Structures are given as C-alpha cells and as structure tokens.
Chain A
Amino acid sequence: MSDQRPVPAEALALGPFEVAADPAAIAAFAAATGAGGLTPSATFPASWLSTPQLKEALRAAIGPDHLAVHESQSFDYDRPLRAGGCYTLSALVQREAAPARLVIVARATEMDGAVALTMRSVMRLVATAGERAG
C-alpha cells in the first residue's frame, strides 16, 4: 500500500542514502516513546529524516528565516522493517508556496530493490519574524 500520490517533476531528489534499523537506535526510540523495542515501531523511520545529508538538504530547503511545523505525516509499509536491517533511502523534496510548505516523500527499499516503506511528510514553513504557528 505505497503512497501513490504524484510528486511534482521539479522536486529535488536526494539520496540514495544507506539507513539502518539499528537495534540501539530502536531501543532509544522505544525508551523515548514507549513504542517498539525489539522491532522498529511504525514511526521509527521518521528518525531517518535526520540522516545528516538529508537533514542538511532539508535545512537548506527550509531556509534560515523559517521554522518547519509538521503538518501531516504518513507511513505506508509494503513489508515490516527488520531490526538490524539495512535499507536504501531516497527522497523527493518539493517546496510549495501560498502557504509555504515542504513536502517530502521518502522511500526505503531493501537491498534487493523491493520497497519496504514510503513516508510522506508535510511541513508548513513559518516565518520567524513573529508569524503565529499552528
């Protein structure tokens, strides 16, 4: 049940990056949320958006004069993630205007190329000059 919504052709393509369902990271996430533990929780892959190269690119897309406010998020699993599993993460990032938003569609694939997960994140961009965030 992958997210089949189209991503605009002018979206910025990022990756592929190698990510892992590292047991220590899964445990740390579980300690902070109460979700998961031995296996990755459903929302654990959100942490992959903080992969350094991806995070840097997202910061650049947001810009220094805006804050990102998470507006919506989805996780579509074609198959469960495995603790200790390694995946390839690729993302398409689109900045929208009126209202300003960043839409990120990231796909994690198994090493054999099979899609395991599609994540879609929508961030509203709020100017730091005092505009009220919701």
Chain B
Amino acid sequence: MTRPPAPGDRTEVTAVGPFDAAAVVAYARASGDDNPLHVDPTIAAAAGFPAPPVHGMRLMAAIEPALAAWRPDLRIKRLAGAFVEPLLVGEQARLSGRVLKTTGADATEVLIRITIQGPRRGPCLVAEAVVVPREAEATA
C-alpha cells in the first residue's frame, strides 16, 4: 500500500494550456458556460482584456487530472478555489500543489493547496482540495 501523503509533499508541476480559441469554445460547449466574455474577442476587449480569458472553471478542471497523475489512489472530496488573475487565450500556466495537512484517524483526509500560476504576477487560481483514498468511497 502506498504511504499516505504527508505535509510538505509536493505534486508534480504540470503545464496548463496554452488554450486556443477552439479549446475555449469546446469547454463552453461541454460545460454550457457560453459567457461571451470567454468566446467573443470584441466583448473581451470591451471588458479590458487584450484576448478572451479562459474560463476559470477550465483551469479548475485541470486540478483533478494533475492530482490523479500524482496520486491515482486518491479522489477529490472537496475542491474550492478563487480566480485571481485571468489566463488569456494563448497563454500558458503551471500547476503545483503542496500538502498542507492530514486529518482523520489514519490521516486519510489530505488537504492540498494548489496554485495555477500564469504569466502575471498574481496566480490565476488558488485552490484547496481535500482528497481521500479511493477505496474509502466504496465503504463511505
């Protein structure tokens, strides 16, 4: 059995994007989030963006595959995040995570801080995930 993650453990750093306009449209269709800010450069420009911002939720969706690549034995029980800076179409970000603490009788609930950092000073997304062993869901 793989040892549980421990405070201070870090995930692999993974690339997020770059996303082209077609990828943004694909997410809009799959999610139903057709907010024109993300798919219409004219509206994005009117809102002050030099290019449409990628859906924040598309960035958040990148967390689960990254965590699964790091620890496929864990699943997300809670995920919460704040969208700070935009990631614009054509830009790339990097995702990194660090275990903050473990809780539960067998330290099976793991709190991870995840940051998706784009080209600007501030992060695109700061999130926290609580993950638990996948076998726990079968008996929960």
Using CB atoms and an 8 Å cutoff, list the residues of chain A in contact with chain B: 1, 25, 28-29, 31-36, 41-43, 46-47, 49-50, 55, 67-77, 79-80, 120, 126, 128, 130-134
Contacts and interface: CB of A to CB of B under 8 A. Distances in A.
Interface of B: 23, 26-27, 29-37, 43, 46-49, 53, 55-58, 60-65, 75-83, 85-86, 130, 137, 140
A72 B82 CA distance: 4
A73 B32 contact: no
A1 B76 CA distance: 12
List the 8 shortest-distance A-B pairs measured between CB atoms, nearest first.
A50-B32, A74-B80, A132-B48, A32-B30, A33-B61, A42-B76, A133-B47, A72-B82
14 contacts: A1-B78, A32-B31, A33-B30, A35-B62, A43-B61, A47-B31, A49-B33, A50-B31, A67-B47, A68-B35, A70-B56, A74-B80, A80-B75, A133-B49
Among B32, B58, B80, the most chain A Cβ lie within 10 Å of the Cβ of B32
B48 A35 contact: no
B55 to A, nearest CB: 7
A133 to B, nearest CB: 4
A28 B75 CA distance: 20
Given A29-B31, A32-B26, A43 B80 contact: no
